[in-house]
Structure 1
Amino acid sequence: MRGFFTQLAAVFALAIAACPVPALADDQGGQWSIAIHGGAGTIARENMSAEAEAEYRAGLQVALDAGAKVLSEGGTAMDAVEAVILILEDDPKFNAGRGAVYTWEGGHELDASIMDGRDRDAGAVAGVTNVRNPILLARKVMTDSPHVMLSGEGAETFAAEQGLDLVPGEFFDTESRREALERMKADKLSAIDVDIKFGTVGAVALDTHGNLAAGTSTGGMTGKRWNRIGDAPVIGAGTYADNRSCAVSATGWGEYFIRVGVAHEICTRLRHRFDMDVVVARVTTPVDRDGNPEYFVHASEMMLEESAVQEEADAVMAEVKELGGDGGIILVTPEGHALYSFNTSGMYRGRATSEGVNEVAIYGDE
């Protein structure tokens, strides 16, 4: 028994030292995948008209197709993520950019983040009020500043210096969001009761070069006060990308996603799960008469099964629910899996892959 554990320890050390990411893209003919979301929450068929449902599905499809086009033409995961979120930020149906919810004072405070899985470079902005597309500013923070996160007036000043499109606060106004704020104040409701769904948009992608990226953008929660910031701009909570494991974008009750560190937690679990799969494979390799392995298990030849990825994502979302939080995530992996996990009745979502998958969905039973 002692010999077994000695062997296990030795093999585990080898597994950790090995690169845990399979060499996928070049070996598998330019594989790519993408997943997007537009918010999660209490979304039921009986509460949505056929016209509204069709509009949401069409909006998701347009954004998904934009990201898929970038990837299918050999573009980068970063560009695909940005392409998706730009469209969703400009679509007033979603709580990001043009359709952002109102703060308690009647304005809009926008948050966004983006992350590159190649080197874990990242950029984020919080509480901006005049930047038309916060995802562009988040990327500029990553590429053109020495920082990861900027907020408020400083972020606005940086946006102006970078030549980004600045608009008056009224640009983000929509009547449905104004009514939600008025209803919240009149009936003393919580943001969750008013919003029904958690508004946020996001995208995650794997490109044909084998690189991952993730991005998230939001207007936050209706009636938020005191410059409240949720998980969307927090690297590791609402957004995370690491070529070694996965890319994640979250939507939900931000306070709980921050406490769990949802995006980073999922990626870390997947990385460790892969390491342990390598360990088990090596320990259980048949040996010859002299006790030598009949063949050597290379980490680069292994990959996580889709069921294993789903299991780890679901476990993290279950932890969020145990604490009292609701919401969901989208993720892609180096293997090309594009998955969702949510603990709400619905999530506006879509995914596409180089294998021919192309779908959008809203309800939990789809």
Structure 2
Amino acid sequence: MNDQFAIAIHGGAGTLHRERFSPDVVQQYEKALRQALQAGLHILQNGGRSLDALETAVRELEECPFFNAGRGAVFNADGGHSLDAAIMDGRTLAAGAVAGISGFKSPIQVARAVMEKTRYVLLSGQGAADFARDQGFEEAAADYFYTDLRYHQWKKKQENELDESADLNFGTVGAVALDKNGNLAAATSTGGLTNKRYGRVGDSPIIGSGTYANNNTCAVSCTGDGEHFIRSVVAYDISCLIEYKQLTLRDACAFAMQRLQKIDGTGGLIAIDRWGNIQMPYNSEGMYRACAYTSGEIEIKIFE
């Protein structure tokens, strides 16, 4: 045990317009980020596991209607909510994920059960829901996931469905953590794209694209235009740049973001290495993000 620990969380990057954020709105988002960060930090301070810390933090974000995950998830083309999540243990490289699951309050909780209670990595659709029900996870009616904001965004997107650049509403949530035993972990949860069709799945539940953790290198959780993050395999790319090219976390993240930019990918990520260094780069106007270190230093930001 080295007594070093750190945690970072995000609430999404993408179509954030500074002019739409009054001081009161900024304060509400910062309060929500602080609450989730403190929930995970408390576990790490008391010697808890990184997996427990980030699951707790992500569940806080899933329960908050401000973010595109769990309760605040965007509407799909059918007027429902289709959720994705993944979690990964950097110590063992074990991972669990769900894609296209509906009707359960905490997709990240289900993803962790996939990791710990099955021999699979990724469960999807009705099968994921059947597994969650067998495990006794808390279900929720459709109105639990309803928010006026997401409903109006959905209607706006339907009116502009031929314009793929119109308000895609990125807003994935995620967390990465290092515990006192030197173990890294990463988790990501999302409602995906507004008005998504045909069972679309983004990068969040794809191990190596939106979520990755390895004790030898780093832990990463991504947010943004999922198709581009999948094509660039961003999360694993950062780990590889550290492992094979001996880049620092900062340089590895910068290189991966440059590659993403070359194919017009928009978004951001949070990453932590085995020494507790944290990076939170993004190439959109803003990203909801927060982090905390052993020293007690806490950082909470949306824009610069």
- How high is the TM-score relative to the length of structure 2? 0.97
**Distance between the aligned counterparts of 1:165 and 1:187, measured in 2?**
35
**Is the contact made by 1:216 and 1:249 (CA closer than 8 Å) also made in structure 2?**
yes
C-alpha deviation, 1:48, in angstroms:
1.0
The question of 1:273 aligning with 2:213 is answered: no
Describe how 1:126-137 pairs up with structure 2 within 5 A.
Answer: 126-137=99-110
Q: Give the match for residue 176 of structure 1.
A: 149
**Distance between the aligned counterparts of 2:249 and 2:115, measured in 1?**
28
**Is the contact made by 2:249 and 2:272 (CA closer than 8 Å) also made in structure 1?**
no
**Distance between the aligned counterparts of 1:154 and 1:172, measured in 2?**
21
Residue of structure 2 aligned with 1:104, choices 54, 77, 101: 77
Residue of structure 1 aligned with 2:265, choices 306, 321, 325: 325
Give per-residue Cα distances to partners, 1:296-320, cap 9 Å, x unaligned: xxxxxxxx7xxx3211101101111
**Distance between the aligned counterparts of 1:192 and 1:236, measured in 2?**
26
Q: Secondary structure at the match of 2:302?
A: strand
The question of 1:152 aligning with 2:129 is answered: no
**Is the contact made by 2:61 and 2:67 (CA closer than 8 Å) also made in structure 1?**
yes
Q: Give the match for residue 176 of structure 2.
A: 204
C-alpha deviation, 1:45, in angstroms:
2.7
Q: Give the match for residue 218 of structure 2.
A: 246
How many residues are paired up? 304
Describe how 1:211-290 pairs up with structure 2 within 5 A.
Answer: 211-274=183-246
Identify which range, 337-346 or 55-64, moves more after superposition: 337-346
- Segments of 5+ residues of structure 1 without an aligned counterpart are 1-24, 275-303
Residue of structure 1 aligned with 2:291, choices 337, 343, 351: 351
- Segments of 5+ residues of structure 2 without an aligned counterpart are none
**Distance between the aligned counterparts of 1:182 and 1:134, measured in 2?**
25
**Is the contact made by 1:112 and 1:232 (CA closer than 8 Å) also made in structure 2?**
yes
Give per-residue Cα distances to partners, 1:56-107, cap 9 Å, x unaligned: 0100000011111110000000001101000000000000000000001111
Residues 175 and 189 of structure 1: CA distance in aligned 2, closer, same or farther (over 3 Å): farther
Give per-residue Cα distances to partners, 1:300-347, cap 9 Å, x unaligned: xxxx7xxx3211101101111110110001011111101111111110
Residue of structure 2 aligned with 1:194, choices 141, 160, 167: 167
Q: Secondary structure at the match of 1:332?
A: strand
Letter in 2 for 1:251: T
**CA RMSD after TM alignment:** 1.2
**Is the contact made by 1:183 and 1:189 (CA closer than 8 Å) also made in structure 2?**
no
The question of 1:77 aligning with 2:50 is answered: yes
**Is the contact made by 1:191 and 1:223 (CA closer than 8 Å) also made in structure 2?**
no
Q: Secondary structure at the match of 1:223?
A: coil
C-alpha deviation, 1:190, in angstroms:
4.1
**Is the contact made by 2:15 and 2:167 (CA closer than 8 Å) also made in structure 1?**
no
Letter in 2 for 1:90: E
Residue of structure 1 aligned with 2:281, choices 320, 337, 341: 341
**Is the contact made by 1:90 and 1:97 (CA closer than 8 Å) also made in structure 2?**
yes
Letter in 1 for 2:212: Y
- How high is the TM-score relative to the length of structure 1? 0.81
Q: Give the match for residue 19 of structure 1.
A: none
